[in-house]
Amino acid sequence: MDEKKKDIDYEFMAVWQAFYRRHNANFFDVFFYDREKLTNEDIKRVIQKVSDFFQLPVPVVQDKCETIAKVMTCEDASECELYYNWQMMTRAGVNNKDSLTLVIVHEMSHQFLYHTRFMLFDNEMWIQELAADMLVGGFSILGGDVGTGKYKYALETLPASLTHPEGKLRAKIVEYGRKYAWDLITIHHYHDVKDLLKGLPAFVYGHYSELQESWEKVSIEDVAETPFAFGENVDVEALPNNTYGTRLLEDYIKRIKEKQNENNGQ
């Protein structure tokens, strides 16, 4: 084989692999390829870009967090607080600008959805998480072809919990959100961010049995020995104010207590 042609073939293969793993990443792709060192200024620019996308004020930013990232939402969006831990992110595979950007999109989605309730499933918290990940998928198209491979890989490792649906389903809705955003653009039906969420009911109902089966595994009947799940030892008034999780958790605990009262009355 001609050496020059051989070099061209390898070069083409490398380019193709780099393109493919932007949205389809395995373990080696995530931890050994496309890693980037980001400065605080890089991260600030990412947060600014995401805030502009949602037409929200730039949140108060803290670079210390006990998890990868979290947001403290607020009635007044200018008081929203965003926390992140870059070291924990890199260990989870969020180790370049694209994957970081999508984590920030997910968190800021909760502030964007502060006043929104979908009422599509028994656990509203799960739907809020799916909505945030659908917006992640939409942003990956509208924000300039942002790679989703690392973000989806990190999601797929996460189990279902009381507050979050199974990570594999979340990764699916990211890809669904990408396709939905592309379709909206193609038929000239995209006007603002909320248009991206019009496809959420179709996804939820299309995966309803999957959601239901997963929810039953972590529902109150299956964790009957856990006081937290029943809300018996949870002081709602003592929970942090103005957080996305607290507002939904309050609703969840109240529903559980109402159900317990009904059962005790029977």
pTM, rounded to two decimals: 0.81
CA–CA separation, 143 and 190 (whole Å): 13
Q: What pLDDT score was predicted for residue 227?
A: 45
Give the pLDDT score at 14: 72
Task: Tell me how far apart the alpha carbons of residues 106 and 157 are, in angstroms, rounded to a whole number.
Answer: 17
Number of helical (H) and strand (E) elements in the chain, helices listed first: 12, 3
Q: What is the pLDDT of residue 232?
A: 45
Q: What is the pLDDT of residue 235?
A: 55
Burial label for 19, CB within 10 Å (0-12, 13-18, 19+), is exposed
Q: How far apart are CA 198 and CA 137, in angstroms?
A: 14
Looking at residue 123, what is its pLDDT?
93
For residue 219, the model assigns a pLDDT of 73
Question: What's the DSSP call for residue 116?
Answer: -
Q: With a cut of 50, list the residues of the chain below it in pLDDT.
A: 221-232, 240, 242-244
